Homo-oligomer: A and B are copies of this chain.
């Protein structure tokens, strides 16, 4: 079930939207002004943020910019009555992902919400890095055409690394994504990384799994010297 935050000062419109979204199985938090919206966005994790441009206390553009500056990359869909090109350009410059002009069809809002959240959660059917390829559909991994076998945890580990590739993943983040809340003794990660290396880099060149001392690991074709 998707979860979105709606920040909109027009109470009637907000009610209509919320009601419609609930019908589509989208859970909806609500704030009627920018400051309240910012607090909610900071405290909770949403799939998409729906921001009105004109808001009391803190306008949608500034709100979006603040979140981006804090490193929050939740997709933002800006709702506004103004169809001026300059407004749109400003919106995208502030880090907005999409822009919908009122009045709009609720159905269009819904599909755009799905499109934004889908892109974020990565509905990709394949993940790859150099000649390594993970096929999520038939649950296979190949490198240079030859198939690779991994244990469940090894799989999950590789998936997290692939999704972040070529970015790095900190040890803590890696462990949270693989094990969830109850973490095993820290040694476990070392062993699994070791096994992953043996499977992925064991008989291939160049090595793809790289250690970033004091931080975590990364998957990439070229070695960060």
Contacts and interface: CB of A to CB of B under 8 A. Distances in A.
Interface string A189-225: 0000000000000000000000011111010100011
A139 B215 contact: yes
B152 A166 contact: no
A212 B149 CA distance: 10
Nearest to A170: B139
A30 interface: no
Given A98-B98, A147-B225, A138 B119 contact: no
Interface stretch (A18-26, A110-118, A173-181): A110-118
Given A85-B107, A97-B115, A139 B224 contact: yes
A46 interface: no
Contacts of A215: 139, 152
A92 B119 contact: no
